[in-house]
Amino acid sequence: MRFRTASILLCAVLSASALPTQAQRAPATGERPVVAEGVVPDEATKAQLLARLGELYGAGRVVDRLRVEPVVAPPNWSENVAKLAAAQLRQVSPGKLEVNGNSVRISGQVPNEAQRQQVVNHLLTSLNASYSVDADGLRVGGSPQTLLDDVLADRIIEFESGSANLTTTGRAILDELVEPMRQIGDTRVQVIGHTDNVGARQANIALSYARAQAVREYFRQRGIPDAGLSVLGKGPDEPVADNATTEGRARNRRIQFKVL
């Protein structure tokens, strides 16, 4: 008789469009999902893995596609897989972690070689000698600008109407950007505020500047040094969509991150 082996695939920081239906999207509006799929031997293992992923990424971001079936799992398999889901994985964006029985494979992108070594060392030291780790698919690549753009993914950092107060959705997106900001280290970044063309130009420029300042302050409160962050308010001067439409005006009310 051929036995199936327990397996899990963790797809971290996928774009929301990767999920085929609204029901499968992560419930936290504005946050990009982390998809866990595969076959596990029992409900306890499933609950343990989902709880660990919730601690790491936030429960609202985790999309559960795990199935419970009569499969064979190595000793202490769920505990070992839970160990892998640690802070080091958040340096991989986008990325995949595949665990098939005793075989572990990670792929994706990290900003530099030092962080690649951190991720690989974490996997190797978290497991015993019965596990094999394949990290050939984990590559260094992408500029700091690309890293920030990929996480922002054309989403709008929202503020309350006519103010520089971030909405819950706006704060959630900034929370996703905190780790990439840490990853790029001393790289100088300009935070640029933009508005639509409704109202007086000077008032919009002042508002866009205040919103850029609010973003810098939000990062500062989360441990990102503000010395490398400059702010600029461009008001309505650089639209990316037609201000004649509601949708276009919404797209123009945005925060831009420009690596200097």
CATH of residue 47's domain is 3.40.1520.20
On the question of pLDDT at 12 being above 70, the answer is no
Mean pLDDT of 82-110: 85
Domains identified in the chain, total number: 2
State which of 20-24, 115-119, 166-170 shows the largest mean pLDDT. Answer: 166-170
C-alpha 178: how far from its chain's center? 9
Is the same domain home to 206 and 248? Answer: yes
**Does 199 fall in a domain?**
yes
**Does 2 fall in a domain?**
no
The residue ranking higher by pLDDT, 204 or 91, is 204
Mean pLDDT of 193-219: 96
- % pLDDT > 90, the chain: 47
| pLDDT tens, residue by residue, 133-144 | 999 988 887 678
Mean pLDDT of 243-247: 94
**pTM for this prediction:** 0.53
Q: What per-residue confidence (pLDDT) applies to 1?
A: 34
Is the same domain home to 102 and 187? Answer: no
Do the beta carbons of residue 204 and residue 238 sit within 8 Å? no
Edge-to-edge strands, sheet with 7-12: 62-68, 34-40, 7-12, 95-100, 103-110, 132-140
Question: What average pLDDT is seen over the chain?
Answer: 84
On the question of pLDDT at 153 being above 70, the answer is yes
Q: Which domain holds residue 65?
A: 7-140
Domain end point (choices 140, 174, 192) = 140
